[in-house]
Amino acid sequence: MAEILVLVLKTAFAIVLIATSARFLAQFGRPDPRNPIADTTIRISQPFMGPLRRVVPGVAGFDISGLVVIWAAQAILAALLMGLVYNNNPTDFLGPLLVGALFATLGLILEVLRWSMIIVAIGSWLAGGQPNPLLGFLAQMIEPFVAPFRKLNLQVGVLDLSYILAFMVLYIVKMMLVGVAASTIGNIRILFVGL
């Protein structure tokens, strides 16, 4: 029964967390807001970000409320799992839970970027040049993170090695983050999404 509860809670939170992460990352690439995928991420994240946007100021034109929502949701999820599934008092672990939520926020953003890159790379081959709302949204979302690697001129025929290099850098950063998280918060990292 505990495994089912973990699955249900993590899935429900993951939907909101991934949509909010995509909405936050989309600010950098400015995808077309009429794209149905952009609209979906807004609809999923708006009930959580909307009220917070009134009190959390933006920084340099970027909406920071998404990061706050991701961090708070990660902490709430971990506290729920700790209390309901593992029968521990979450307040006894408040410090590690809050720090773990910060690691998980960064880890989730890196994970959304990495999976978006995989989906765009594979999807562009399968779509055969046909327009696709998901691929269009994700490609615009990740472009600001791939663009610095494109400046290295790593195009070999039809193969764009800048994607591979960007993916490897994200993977290495994620591995380092997970290592630091594991040494800082220990086994409770399994309570979060993205670590």
Question: Which domain does 134 fall in, by range?
Answer: 2-191
Angle at which helices 36-53 and 133-150 cross, to 10°? 80
Q: What is the pTM of this model?
A: 0.89
H or E element in which residue 46 lies: helix 36-53
pLDDT on residue 145: 92
Q: What are phi and psi of 76, to 5 degrees?
A: -65, -45
Residue appearing with tokens 């309901």: 84
End-to-end CA separation in angstroms for the chain: 23
pLDDT on residue 20: 94
64: Cβ contacts below 8 Å, ≥ 6 apart: 56, 57, 58
pLDDT on residue 32: 81
> Do 20 and 45 contact (CB within 8 A), yes or no?
yes
Cα–Cα distance for residue pair 158/148, rounded to 1 Å: 19
List, run by run, the mean pLDDT of 10-residue segments along the chain (195 residues): 84 94 90 86 91 85 89 94 82 88 95 93 78 88 91 80 89 93 84 87
pLDDT on residue 3: 82
Residue appearing with tokens 């399994």: 190
pLDDT on residue 92: 83
Provide the number of structural domains found in the chain: 1
pLDDT on residue 104: 95
